[in-house]
């Protein structure tokens, strides 16, 4: 079974009438409300709010321009507002969310269209012709009130466009990389409701049942999209909308079947036919775009089809391909099947979500090939890659973070060597190498602070220039590397030198990656320890020099507060607490 997680949308949803507005405002404890919305519906909302109404803002704008938000925030401050009520379409909802982002004020949203964005924690804002999107629980409304009566006079063209916008939410949730059985159910029901309701609304705008189905579909579509990552469709719509000032819902309506075909969804042609039957724009050209506008844009070929409104070219079903690969693991042992299934679904989802090109994939294969060619017994480029991407630290936490009573673990790193020489206590493992002398006096105990005698402790570190012995072929034998045994009191004493910060090997593919993203290759100064004894969990960890460089930007993300130790006065004292394997 594929593992997944799902968090239920915490928004309170009420299907009723605008007469419920005052009750819902009381439930949120709102005493001084800013009302957002244009007069047609906001006048009725103002009457329902009564004395709770502190101020009104009647000019919400498409794509939530930041200057409009700033004007609304002035009203919030001037009138000591303690909550926001928004009534209208996506513009009113977006402005309420933007206010909540800056103020944490509770929101009560009354949608009059079918966008479904009122159910999400997503906010898109526009400044200087560029729309940026963020996802944060701070902008998710507390309550949404649906009143089907408010939608009965919504023009069919607006109804159809906003309904297709909601449909896009549900469709995108289907191919999201983190989709799960619950979001699939929500998306399927939303698609069923919306594709049934929109033609009925077009045929009879007064059909209350059709209008109610559209509202329910929008609710479910917004709910399932809120639980997953947004993908290609929303990225394109938000980019084009912000850059060219295109109408939000209509842009969604035009692009939806083309993105579906691009993603390999089997029902892309059905959605194209549905959109073609509704009174909405059917091409980007109808929205004012030209060939020159889309030249050089992301997904130019997709946009060219949408520009002319031609039937989208079908692509093989990518979901079917993923399922075919996953099904091929059906005879594998349970754990193998789980690991391979999640790996394939993650890789396929990554390729689909980023619209990975052949050239990009070939570059990635070449990158891994070069890393493999460079890897030897003394140069572990793949471990460096895992470390610098934080994967090693993630696996370390999943595997070794058993109890807060034990010393934190840390990554093994690429320079550990099996079977270091056993060395008597008190020895100098620096073997005469230059550096600041360091006397190390550590103790190993269990979680009850009882000493652990006869534990095997492997120690390794770099020299003062940042090199490990395996990187220095001129060295004769292991240096700054040894194996000790704790005494009857669980103590271990030896001499070494104070470690210094150093760069990981950066002359290979991993170094190229760090350069490309503007990251440094340095590790904070540290000494490695591996502590093992039968009956206890092996502890792999590192001690970092307090006040050392790069503690807050260690390139392998290995620093933990509990591992920062005082190396002052050329002396290190520390107690390691390890856990019994049966605890």
Rounded CA separation 137/187 (Å): 21
Rounded to the nearest 10 degrees, what angle do helices 208-226 and 156-175 cross at? 30
Give the sign of the dihedral formed by CA 201, CA 203, CA 208, CA 209: negative
Tokens 């058993």, residue? 402
In this structure, are strands 33-36 and 53-57 parallel, antiparallel, or unpaired?
parallel
Q: Which residues are catalytic?
A: 468, 502, 523, 526, 528
Residues 143, 108 contacting (CB under 8 angstroms):
yes
Angstrom distances, CA of residue 186 to CA of 213, 353, 557: 14, 20, 38
Long-range (24+ apart) CB contacts under 8 A made by 74-77 are 75/34, 76/34, 76/103, 76/105
Q: Is the dihedral of CA 107, 211, 280, 199 positive or negative?
A: positive
Q: Are 163 and 195 in contact (CB under 8 A)?
A: no
Of 514, 521, 567, residue with least CA distance to 544 = 567
**Edge-first strand listing for the sheet containing 107-111:** 12-15, 143-146, 107-111, 83-88, 33-36, 53-57
Integer Cα distance of 381 and 387 in angstroms: 10
Give Cα separations from 283 to 100, 112, 170, 231, 238 (angstroms): 35, 25, 21, 21, 17
Q: Tell me which residue has tokens 């194996």.
A: 483
267-273 long-range contacts, CB within 8 A, separation 24+ = 268/312, 268/314, 269/311, 269/312, 269/314, 270/195, 271/167, 271/171, 271/195, 272/311, 272/312
Q: Say how many C-beta atoms besides its own lie within 10 A of residue 248's C-beta.
A: 26
d(CA 294, CA 304): 7
Tell me the C-alpha to C-alpha distance, in Å, between residue 449 and each of 400, 422, 490, 579: 19, 26, 10, 11
């Amino acid at each position: 079974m594929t593992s997944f997680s799902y968090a239920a949308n915490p928004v309170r949803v009420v299907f009723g009438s605008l007469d419920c507005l005052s009750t819902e405002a009381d439930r949120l404890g709102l005493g001084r409300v800013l009302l957002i919305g244009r007069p047609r519906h906001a006048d009725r909302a103002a009457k329902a709010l009564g004395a709770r109404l502190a101020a009104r803002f009647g000019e919400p704008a498409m794509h939530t321009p930041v200057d409009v938000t700033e004007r609304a925030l002035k009203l919030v401050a001037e009138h000591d507002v303690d909550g926001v009520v928004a009534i209208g379409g996506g513009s009113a909802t977006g402005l309420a969310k933007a206010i909540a982002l800056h103020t944490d004020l509770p929101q009560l949203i009354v949608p009059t269209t079918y966008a479904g964005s009122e159910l999400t924690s997503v906010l898109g804002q526009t400044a200087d012709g560029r729309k940026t999107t963020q996802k944060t629980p701070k902008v998710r409304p507390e309550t949404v009130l649906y009143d089907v009566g408010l939608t009965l006079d919504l023009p069919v063209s607006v109804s159809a466009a906003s309904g297709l916008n909601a449909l896009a939410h549900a469709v995108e949730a289907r191919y999201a990389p983190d989709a799960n059985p619950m979001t699939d159910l929500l998306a399927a029901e939303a698609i069923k409701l919306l594709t049934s309701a929109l033609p009925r609304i077009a045929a009879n705008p007064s059909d209350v049942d059709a209008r109610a189905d559209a509202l329910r579909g929008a609710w479910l579509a917004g709910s399932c999209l809120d639980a997953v990552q947004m993908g290609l469709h929303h990225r394109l719509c938000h980019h084009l909308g912000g850059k060219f000032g295109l109408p939000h819902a209509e842009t969604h309506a035009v692009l939806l079947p083309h993105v579906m075909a691009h993603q390999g969804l089997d029902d892309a042609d059905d959605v194209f036919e549905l959109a073609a039957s509704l009174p909405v724009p059917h091409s980007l050209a109808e929205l004012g775009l030209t060939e020159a506008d889309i030249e050089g844009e992301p997904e130019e070929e997709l946009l060219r089809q949408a520009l002319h409104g031609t039937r989208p070219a079908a692509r093989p079903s990518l979901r079917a391909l993923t399922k075919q690969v996953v099904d091929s693991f059906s005879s594998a042992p349970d754990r193998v099947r789980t690991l391979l299934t999640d790996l394939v679904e993650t890789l396929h989802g990554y390729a689909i979500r980023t619209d990975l090109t052949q050239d990009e994939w070939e570059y990635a294969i070449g990158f891994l090939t070069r890393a493999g060619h460079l890897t030897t017994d003394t140069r572990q480029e793949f471990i460096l890659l895992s470390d610098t991407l934080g994967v090693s630290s993630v696996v370390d936490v999943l595997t070794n973070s058993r109890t807060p009573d034990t010393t934190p673990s840390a990554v093994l790193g690429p320079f550990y060597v099996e079977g270091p020489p056993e060395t008597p206590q008190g020895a100098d493992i620096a073997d005469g190498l230059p550096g600041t002398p360091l006397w190390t006096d550590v103790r190993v105990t269990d979680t009850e602070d009882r000493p652990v005698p006869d534990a095997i402790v492997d120690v390794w570190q770099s020299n003062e220039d940042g090199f490990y012995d395996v990187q220095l072929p001129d060295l004769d034998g292991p240096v700054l590397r040894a194996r000790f045994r704790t005494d009857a009191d669980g103590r271990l004493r030896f001499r070494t030198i104070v470690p210094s910060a150093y760069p990981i090997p950066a002359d290979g593919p991993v170094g190229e990656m760090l350069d490309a993203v503007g990251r440094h290759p340095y590790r904070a100064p540290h000494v490695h320890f591996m502590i093992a004894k039968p009956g206890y969990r092996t502890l792999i960890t590192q001690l970092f020099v307090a006040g050392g460089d790069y503690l807050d930007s260690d390139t392998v993300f290995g620093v933990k507060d509990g591992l920062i130790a005082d190396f002052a006065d050329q002396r290190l004292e520390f107690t390691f607490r390890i856990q019994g394997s049966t605890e």
